[in-house]
């Protein structure tokens, strides 16, 4: 069953940010406070899913084939770590709003904007985290609170749909003066600086035509889903971007076919069907002298295949937890969790009654550099003494696509690390 903890945390972080912006406060003032929220049903062709239904028009039908929305309320306590991330977003957003040019801007928080005129769903809306409006410019800001994938503002379908919603909702005579639209994505837990992309009004309206066309095709595919699901995969277009968060990964026939075609030959090799000796198999699996063109193609498919594997595992687990049989698989009891006091106050009182020393009863831990900066930041002299004691390890090298914005690491060849020297006889060793 999918873990919804991270999604809930993101929802609470958004609620915290909205409260701070409306009340003119900082996030730290809410640490320890419990914030309540609830799930709500989004538009079927939602802006947040636009990257999916625009690229794969059949995904909308598959995702809603067996989907039922269940209302759910939840709450979460604001932690220091959450407040720190939200504060980074607030500081950056306020810098956009407090424009140094002296222009008068207007900030709108958690603004509901219409998208039905694009998606074809009557009354459909989306919620923009923040909108900053100047006489000649519209800014749409979106907070992403996850730690995983960095999201780019460039060509971001969700953000452009929000911008189109703003354009329609705020249409008035002054809109003629707007000559640029800035889309800004804030990911404070990945990087402190926001990512922004500028688009002209004409480019935005051109995107509207494309989005409307894809939305109508998606609605058509859903309306006639019974005619093609399980029979015709032409409505489905697997790909890393659109499949990553698709709820139908586990049951999508086109993705299953893609995975099968990508890895079937390798599985056959491992089974020994195409080799006549152990040595031949070893050579085929040799990674010291790979065909890098083939290796590149396989690497491009890995994320998508791993995504599919995780989705299948989660689907099987959900079926078994619902009491439905999955042939050859069963649920078993996992490892027990860590031991914890059932009543911490009572345990503390009991240990105190035993006259244990404080160092025996409590674990003391030095505060983190982040907490130290919060504590000492207002006293520069003291912070200046502490700052040199802080270090930070470099990130480990990791493989990324060539389109990644980070610069490539320059790695020397292993042979460059060896020095060629001459022996006494004059030969090279």
Report the range of poorest mean pLDDT among 72-81, 103-112, 218-227: 103-112
Q: Where exactly are the structural domains of the chain?
A: 5-228, 240-321
Model-level pTM greater than 0.85? no
At 379, the pLDDT band (50, 70, 90 cuts) reads confident
User: Per-residue pLDDT for 92 more than 90?
Assistant: yes
The two structure tokens encoding residue 250: 């586990």
The two structure tokens encoding residue 203: 């480019």
The residue to which tokens 């610069």 are assigned: 407
Which of 153, 131, 135, 136 minimizes the C-alpha distance to 144? 153
- What is the pLDDT of the chain when averaged over all its residues? 83
Write down the pLDDT at residue 2: 42
DSSP 172-218: SGGGGG--EEEEEEE-TTT-SS-EEEEE-HHHHHHHHHHHHHHHHHH
Q: What is the mean pLDDT of residues 364-368?
A: 85
| Region class of 313: left (phi > 0), else alpha (psi between -120 and 50), else beta | alpha
Query: What's the pLDDT tens digit per position in 7-53?
Result: 889 999 999 999 999 999 999 999 999 999 887 777 789 999 999 99
Distance of alpha carbon 61 from alpha carbon 248, whole angstroms: 9
The H or E element spanning position 77 is strand 73-77
Cβ burial 355-382 (10 Å sphere, 16+ → b, else e)? eeeeeeeeeeeeeeeeebebebeeeeee
Distance of alpha carbon 2 from alpha carbon 313, whole angstroms: 10
The residue to which tokens 């700052």 are assigned: 387
Q: Using H for helix, E for strand and C for coil, what is the string for 237-253?
A: CCCHHHHCCCCCHHHCH
Number of Cβ within a 10 Å radius of residue 256: 16
CA 248 to chain centre: 18
At 319, the pLDDT band (50, 70, 90 cuts) reads confident
Q: Which residues pair with 74 in a beta bridge?
A: 37
Query: What's the pLDDT tens digit per position in 117-127?
Result: 999 999 999 99
Report the range of poorest mean pLDDT among 258-267, 273-282, 407-416: 273-282
Q: What percent of the chain has pLDDT over 90?
A: 38
DSSP 97-123: HS-TT----EEEEEEEEE-HHHHS-TT
CA dist list (Å): 370 to 145, 321, 378, 386: 18, 41, 14, 11
Distance of alpha carbon 274 from alpha carbon 279, whole angstroms: 12
At 294, the pLDDT band (50, 70, 90 cuts) reads low
At 289, the pLDDT band (50, 70, 90 cuts) reads very low
Query: What's the pLDDT tens digit per position in 40-83?
Result: 777 789 999 999 999 999 999 988 876 666 778 889 999 999 99
Write down the pLDDT at residue 67: 62
C-beta of residue 236 within 8 angstroms of C-beta of residue 62: yes
At 263, the pLDDT band (50, 70, 90 cuts) reads low
Write down the pLDDT at residue 145: 93
Distance of alpha carbon 113 from alpha carbon 110, whole angstroms: 9
Write down the pLDDT at residue 251: 82
């Amino acid at each position: 069953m999918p873990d919804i903890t991270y999604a809930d945390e993101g929802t609470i972080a958004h609620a915290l940010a909205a409260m701070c912006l409306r009340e003119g406060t900082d996030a730290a003032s809410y640490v320890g406070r419990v914030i309540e929220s609830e799930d709500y049903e989004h538009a079927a062709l939602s802006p947040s899913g636009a990257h999916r239904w625009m690229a794969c028009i059949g995904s909308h039908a598959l995702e809603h084939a067996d989907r039922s929305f269940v209302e759910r309320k939840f709450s979460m306590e604001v932690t220091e770590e959450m407040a720190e991330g939200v504060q980074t977003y607030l500081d950056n957003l306020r810098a956009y709003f407090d424009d140094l040019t002296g222009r008068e801007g207007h900030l709108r928080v958690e603004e509901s904007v219409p998208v039905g005129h694009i998606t074809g769903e009557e009354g459909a809306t989306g919620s923009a985290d923040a909108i900053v409006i100047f006489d000649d410019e519209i800014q749409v800001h979106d907070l992403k609170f996850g730690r995983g994938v960095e999201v780019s503002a460039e060509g971001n379908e969700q953000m452009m749909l929000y911008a189109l919603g703003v354009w329609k909702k705020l249409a008035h005579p002054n809109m003629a003066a707007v000559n640029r639209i800035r889309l800004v994505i804030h990911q404070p837990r990945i990087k402190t600086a926001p990512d922004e992309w500028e688009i002209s009004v004409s480019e935005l309206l051109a995107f509207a035509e494309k989005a409307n066309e894809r939305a109508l095709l998606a609605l058509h595919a859903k309306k006639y889903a019974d005619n093609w699901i399980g029979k015709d995969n032409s409505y489905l277009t697997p790909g890393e971007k659109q499949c990553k968060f698709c709820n139908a990964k586990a049951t999508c026939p086109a993705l299953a076919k893609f995975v099968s075609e990508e890895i079937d030959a390798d599985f056959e090799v491992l089974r020994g069907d195409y080799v006549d000796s152990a040595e031949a198999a070893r050579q085929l699996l040799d990674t010291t002298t790979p065909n890098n063109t083939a290796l590149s193609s396989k690497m491009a498919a890995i994320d998508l295949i791993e995504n599919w594997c995780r989705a299948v595992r989660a689907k099987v687990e959900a079926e078994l937890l619902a009491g439905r049989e999955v042939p050859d698989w069963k649920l078993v009891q996992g490892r027990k969790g860590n031991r914890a006091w059932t009543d911490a106050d009572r345990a503390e009182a009991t240990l105190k009654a035993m006259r244990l020393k404080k160092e025996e009863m409590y674990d003391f831990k030095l505060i983190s550099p982040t907490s130290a900066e919060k504590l000492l930041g207002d006293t520069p002299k003291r912070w200046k003494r502490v700052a040199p004691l802080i270090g930070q390890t470099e990130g480990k090298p990791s493989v990324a696509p060539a389109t990644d914005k980070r610069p490539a690491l320059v790695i020397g060849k292993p042979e460059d690390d060896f020095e060629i020297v001459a022996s006494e006889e004059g030969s090279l060793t």
